A and B are shown apart, each in its own frame.
Chain A
Amino acid sequence: MAVASAVLVAGLLLALMVGRYPVSFAELFGVIAGKLTGHAPAVPSAVENVVWQVRGPRVASAALVGAALAIAGTAFQGLFRNPLVSPDILGASSGAALGAVLGIYFSLGVFAIQAFAFVGGLVAVAAVYVIGGAVRARDPILVLVLTGVVIGALLGAGVGMVKYLADPYGQLPAMTFWLLGSLASIGARDIAPLGVPVALGTLLLLALRWRLNVMSLPDEEARALGLPTGPLRVAIVAAATLVTSASVATAGVIGWVGLVVPHIARTLVGPDFGRLIPATALLGGGFLLLIDTLARTVSAVEIPLGILTALVGTPFFIWLLASVSKTWS
């Protein structure tokens, strides 16, 4: 775990060093040293600006979003006892997408668009939970998944409708770019709205880590062991949704991180959630950090994150499917 954290920190520093704006290692060192010691660094203010206002927040957000999506994926995979589950299973991404495109359609400000997306994700999952809960069935998990798929499809149709009605010159490109996922516009102001929900959700999941182990058992067994499965399920879903909605509101729709990273983490540290959650967070953060660094340095124009994660994630997932059967039991 200590090794993994050290690797992540090294990764963060490395990511800070590269970028389209030329910042040398000496300048970076000077800027960081200046912040730590309190003296003004001997670097041009433009460079300081880039490090603290542009690259720093972006690198931090990439790590946070990656960690958030990976943790949500882990929680859902444990809760639904299914290796193919991603954080989108209950429609959080679709709800957030609908919120965001509505915000763009009404030409709202950036903060309003993010707020709409965040609320959209939460409302979508709440709706799924309420509808799923109203159906009396022997397997509440299956009902939840099915409702999530259905509501997700409905919200997806809503997104399509809004895109259809949008002005094709101005609003539609903005919607398309948002939906592909990008951290290009992150500033220092976006760290708090992202960090607070992610921190809350992660802490809640960490607090429930032992119970998550037990929730991986079938429902009757878990209840026989004394767990209140109903309220626990609500808590886990709420925490994971909080984390997912905040990520999607900040960065757009990014897939694959929540699906692939938990599997890798499980191969490394085993299925015990006590170690799995921190491991997934570190791995997810590192993974998205790498992807985002590629997205912003490879060319002058940004490559959307959703595309890169799919390009990297898909072959990896195929390899995973082909080579392992022992990690999932």
Chain B
Amino acid sequence: MMLLHRRTLLRGVAAAILSPRLARAAVTDASGRAISIPEKVERVFAGGPPAAILLYTFAPDLLIGWTRSHDPAQCEFLGPGGCDKPEVGRLTGRGNTTNLEVLLKLKPDLILDVGTINDTYVTLATRVQEQTGILYALLDGRFGAIGPLYRKMGELTHRQAQADDFALYAESTIATIKGRVDKIPEQSRPCVYYGRGPRGLETGLGGSINVETIEFLDARNVAAERRGGMATVSVEQVLAWNPDVIITIEPAFAAAVKADPVWAAVKAVRNGRVHLSPRLPFAWVDFPPSVNRLIGLWWLAKALYPEQFPEDLRPLTREFYTRFYHKTPTDAQIDSLLSGRA
């Protein structure tokens, strides 16, 4: 009787001592997997460019390294942690370049990946977690879900208050812009052609991630008659579509299209509504498909609906860059950014 009591007592004491260490917060990631986060999260490995950008904006000290190192033009707009971290390769997405052993040597507390949630990525996450023993969180990178994305990041890194800040900023920006766009009647929504590639003939079909922010603003993507990813079209097809606005991130194409006799007949070119997106440090439209597109939403709204969005982009840009990229750009830098010279 006494022996049993003692064993029970010992077991109870052991449980009491060990339980604080075992009691980790359990967070569910976007794929439905429960991740038990340790108390201290100090090193996070970003599995791809969207995750790296996201992590850098809200917790640059946690980021172990970038997937690709940045060129000097990009470094001018990035604050501390932008260009002084090592290049660690990408773990997932289109082509992985990280060696798993290198990953282990870096000793991350958590691997973070932001993007599409489908079986390929979920199984990859499970496999990497099994192989390396490092927790792997997979989050949904859809543009409309930026608020919840930041909040989830806050839960994962124990920085909920900080994350809430960013989430509120993102949600209020989106709400303001969407609120005004929703009031615009259907007929006034412009037909948009998004052109990329050296000749501007690559485009995003309906629902593709390339045109996510454009379609988010309820503009009519001329290529949306088919749903899918990216595709090439011929100039003839663009002429047949005759878009009202052309959006591009390719400076060579933006310059050439204004002088090319072939494109001259397109409505957008005739009316001067060819818009080149700012590109530094990350493009404001299309890729990388991360929170860098948030400031691009203002820019797109102005390009598509100039009357409803009379705001000056410069203070908005300054605020966004200071908050998200941790460096306040000078007026000259903002001007060169917005003019497309950057």
A residues at B contact (CB < 8 Å): 19-22, 45-46, 49-50, 53-55, 58, 104, 109-110, 113, 164, 167-170, 172-174, 177, 182, 184-185, 187-188, 296, 299-302, 304
B interface size (C-beta, 8 A): 35
Say whether A49 contacts B262, CB under 8 Å: yes
Say whether B264 contacts A54, CB under 8 Å: no
- A110 CB contact (under 8 Å) in B198, B225, B232: B198
Say whether B233 contacts A302, CB under 8 Å: yes
A293 to B130, CA, bound (A): 52
Say whether B264 contacts A20, CB under 8 Å: no
B12-53 vs A, CB cutoff 8 Å, 1 = contact: the mask equals 000000000000000000000000000000000000010000
Q: Which residues of A contact B239 (CB under 8 A)?
A: 21, 46, 49-50, 54
Whole-angstrom distance between the Cβ of A197 and the nearest chain B Cβ? 21
B234-256 vs A, CB cutoff 8 Å, 1 = contact: the mask equals 11110110000000000010000
Say whether A20 contacts B265, CB under 8 Å: no
Answer yes or no: B288 CB below 8 A from chain A CBs.
Answer: yes
A296 to B227, CA, bound (A): 18
Say whether A45 contacts B205, CB under 8 Å: no
Q: Which residues of B contact A49 (CB under 8 A)?
A: 239, 261-262, 264-265
Say whether B197 contacts A173, CB under 8 Å: yes
Say whether A168 contacts B94, CB under 8 Å: yes
Whole-angstrom distance between the Cβ of B196 and the nearest chain A Cβ? 8
Q: Which residues of B contact A58 (CB under 8 A)?
A: 234, 236
Say whether B262 contacts A167, CB under 8 Å: no
Answer yes or no: B303 CB below 8 A from chain A CBs.
Answer: no
A188 to B264, CA, bound (A): 14
Say whether B236 contacts A19, CB under 8 Å: yes
Say whether B265 contacts A46, CB under 8 Å: yes
Say whether A184 contacts B235, CB under 8 Å: yes
Say whether B262 contacts A174, CB under 8 Å: no
A172 to B196, CA, bound (A): 12
A168 to B316, CA, bound (A): 30
Q: Which residues of A contact B5 (CB under 8 A)?
A: none
Say whether B232 contacts A184, CB under 8 Å: yes
Say whether B261 contacts A300, CB under 8 Å: no
Say whether B95 contacts A301, CB under 8 Å: no
Whole-angstrom distance between the Cβ of B195 and the nearest chain A Cβ? 11
Say whether A300 contacts B94, CB under 8 Å: no
Knowing A109-B252, A168-B95 are in contact, say whether A187-B197 is a contact too (CB < 8 A): no
Whole-angstrom distance between the Cβ of B79 and the nearest chain A Cβ? 23
Say whether B288 contacts A21, CB under 8 Å: no
Say whether A184 contacts B68, CB under 8 Å: no
**Which B189-219 residues have C-beta < 8 A from chain A?**
196-199, 201-202, 205
Q: Which residues of B contact A45 (CB under 8 A)?
A: 265
Say whether B94 contacts A167, CB under 8 Å: no
Answer yes or no: B223 CB below 8 A from chain A CBs.
Answer: yes
Whole-angstrom distance between the Cβ of B255 and the nearest chain A Cβ? 10
Say whether B226 contacts A300, CB under 8 Å: yes
Say whether B265 contacts A296, CB under 8 Å: no
Task: Name 9 extra pairs, CB < 8 A, besides A169-B286, A170-B196, A188-B262.
Answer: A20-B240, A49-B262, A54-B234, A55-B236, A58-B234, A109-B252, A185-B235, A296-B234, A301-B226
Say whether A169 contacts B288, CB under 8 Å: yes
Knowing A20-B240, A110-B199, A301-B232 are in contact, say whether A54-B225 is a contact too (CB < 8 A): no
Whole-angstrom distance between the Cβ of B273 and the nearest chain A Cβ? 17
Answer yes or no: B2 CB below 8 A from chain A CBs.
Answer: no
Q: Which residues of B contact A168 (CB under 8 A)?
A: 93-95
Answer yes or no: B230 CB below 8 A from chain A CBs.
Answer: yes
A19 to B236, CA, bound (A): 8
A21 to B234, CA, bound (A): 10
A304 to B233, CA, bound (A): 10
Q: Can you identify 23 A-B contacts, CB atoms within 8 angstroms?
A: A20-B234, A20-B236, A21-B236, A49-B261, A49-B262, A49-B265, A53-B262, A164-B95, A167-B68, A169-B94, A169-B286, A169-B288, A170-B287, A172-B94, A174-B198, A177-B232, A187-B262, A188-B262, A296-B234, A299-B226, A300-B237, A301-B226, A304-B232
A84 to B286, CA, bound (A): 44
Say whether B233 contacts A300, CB under 8 Å: yes
**Shortest Cβ-Cβ A-B pairs, 10 listed:** A169-B287, A301-B231, A185-B199, A168-B94, A184-B234, A46-B265, A21-B240, A20-B237, A53-B262, A302-B232
A168 to B67, CA, bound (A): 11
Q: Which residues of A contact B260 (CB under 8 A)?
A: 187
- A296 CB contact (under 8 Å) in B236, B287, B288: B236
Say whether A113 contacts B198, CB under 8 Å: yes
Q: Which residues of A contact B252 (CB under 8 A)?
A: 109-110
A300 to B223, CA, bound (A): 8
Q: Which residues of A contact B93 (CB under 8 A)?
A: 168
Whole-angstrom distance between the Cβ of A25 and the nearest chain B Cβ? 17
- With both beta carbons as reference points, the residue of chain B lying nearest to A163 in the complex is identified as B95
Knowing A187-B262, A300-B225 are in contact, say whether A173-B236 is a contact too (CB < 8 A): no
A188 to B235, CA, bound (A): 12
